[in-house]
Amino acid sequence: MELESINSQAHTAHSDATASPDTDRRKPAASTPEQEPIVLLSNWNFFTILSCLSAAVILCGYDSTCVATLTPIISDEFGSLNDVSWYGIAYSLASCATVLSYAKLYSFYRTTTVLVASFIVGRVIAGLGNSGILSGTNITLARIVPLHKRAFYQALIGGVECVALAVAPFLSGCIAEYASWRVCFYICLPLGVIPIVAVLLFLRLPKTAAQAQDLRPSDKLRQLDLPGMALFVPWVVCLVLALQWGGSEYTWTSKQMITLFALVGTFLLAMQEHATLPLRLLRSRVMLSSMLVTFATSGALYVFTFYVPLYNQAVRGVTTMESGLRDLSRILGLVCAISIGGIATNTIGYYMAPMLFGAALMIVGAALTTTFDPSTALSHILIYQAILGIGCGLVFQQPYTAAQASIATADVNVAIVIITFAQLLGSVVMLAVAQNVFSTRLAAGIAFSVPGLDPNSILNAGATSLRELVPMQYLAGALEAYNGARVDVFYTGLAIASVTTLGALGSGWKSVKQMSKEAKQK
């Protein structure tokens, strides 16, 4: 298996591999035989790199969710309410389909090279570079920050990403209000230059044991497993289509659905032959639990991020800017909690405590949002979203710490990429499921509430066109049907949020402080 052979070679080569870093800028800290040495940067270089990584994840976060507030007006322009989830899926799909490739790229090539390439590709084709930047950011932190301090800095970077994820809908709503929604996608192009320049100038990391192997370019290309990468894209596409179409476009037993699920299974088996997902790491209970927590947290966060604006704009009739303002409570809760979660893990040493508490708050917040209706008080909307945001924030970065605390350092790159993959897959899968639930429930509700109106006319129109298409005497019933569809989507978010508790319980009760002390003693 390709990924496993890479890491086994890294373990063997590590004892003989020596780095020769520039002593003016960094020096390797003491390490155990199982650890790559931590590269200690000067204060100036460290904070420059930290700022640059923060800028990078800001761009990724903005790109991921800036479309959330824009979905109602974009669906109006293109008449495509039935495809709302694809506005968010398309970006995450490209990221999800390429993320596992970065495990091998970061194993063979210098971290700086792959990270800069991800910046450039991400500015040219949105989504393709996102996965490389997210995984590369955590890999870089793993190279320059000791394990017992890593939770704080990962929380810091994760908090910045969450700020971007949460602020992007508000910012894009403001831009769309006064300019055009297309401008929202242009502003990131020049901003991507800053992280590229900073990384090239200040990030100088010695080669890891795997990177130091004397492999020919043809051998590296062979081990990159391009056929396995190519199989992953159709697997994700078939999975998303099956989850979105099942029960709405086609019955679950139709030939179309059977074909899609057969293709999903075929591609999955083929990928296993190519070892796209390394079984050795997936046999770890902590790794599987961390993936489950990340998948569920990301899925729940994306469901509410994309469908709360639909509630605000279609059911409550507010503007895109006001809709963005109503999301601020979730933003603030998310940002504050992710920082608190990192500090708590750094202080007490145990990552499971904030993870479990955050999972409980996620469930409470998600449950409360299902009570939204056309007359819910604004104060309740803000408070319930704040609780949800705090829960997501406490959980968001903990799986990365759990995974790194449970595996050998030579496997860290692959583990980080796998956790990032779970995060991206969670957003893709749950948005597809949410769209299925929304379309099915809305079509049934409109057919019942508005006699003579074809439900497809609503699904093929924009999100804010409901008041224009429905006669006034039926409008209250139509809004109730729309809100009912939204409630079912929020129940879907509640269900996946509940899964985080199961994952958290399996993540292991380990102290990163104690592990760091033992490593130093060795």
pLDDT at 211: 58
**Most distant CA pair in the chain: distance in Å?**
79
Q: How far is CA 261 from the centre of its chain?
A: 24
- Number of residues written out for the chain: 522
The pLDDT value given to residue 518 = 55
Tens of pLDDT along 457-510? 766 665 566 677 777 777 788 888 888 888 999 999 999 999 999 988 888 777
Q: Which residues pair with 250 in a beta bridge?
A: 246
What residues in the chain have per-residue pLDDT under 70?
Answer: 1-37, 68-69, 71-72, 75-85, 87-88, 122-128, 190, 192, 206-215, 217-225, 228, 248, 271-278, 409-410, 458-466, 511-522
How far apart CA 256 and CA 53 sit, in angstroms, is 44
What local confidence, expressed as pLDDT, does residue 122 receive? 65
What's the pLDDT tens digit per position in 349-403? 788 888 999 999 999 999 999 999 888 899 999 999 999 999 998 998 888 888 8
Q: Where are the alpha helices (DSSP H) in 246-377?
A: 255-273, 279-282, 285-310, 320-326, 328-348, 352-369
Q: SS3 sequence, 271-284? A: HHHCCCCCHHHHCC
pLDDT tens digits, 285-305: 888 999 999 999 999 998 998
pLDDT at residue number 16: 40
Q: What span, in angstroms and rounded, lies between the C-alpha atoms of 352 and 76?
A: 44
- pLDDT value at residue 432: 86
439, 83 Cβ separation under 8 angstroms: no
CB atoms within 10 A of CB 163: 20
Q: Give residue 213's pLDDT.
A: 63
DSSP H helices in 411-471: 412-449, 455-459, 466-469
Domain ranges of the chain: 38-208+275-521, 226-274
Q: Measuring CA to CA, how many Å separate 491 from each of 241, 258, 358?
A: 21, 27, 18
Phi, psi values for residue 448, rounded to 5°: -80, -40
Nearest 5°: the CA angle 195, 197, 203 is 85
pLDDT score at 463: 59
Reference 309, options 75, 59, 57; nearest CA is 75
Per-residue model confidence (pLDDT) at position 323: 79
Q: What is the pLDDT of residue 20?
A: 34
**CB 399, CB 507: distance < 8 Å:** yes
Cβ atoms within 10 Å of 482's Cβ, excluding its own: 25
Fold of 38-208+275-521: Growth Hormone; Chain: A; (1.20.1250)
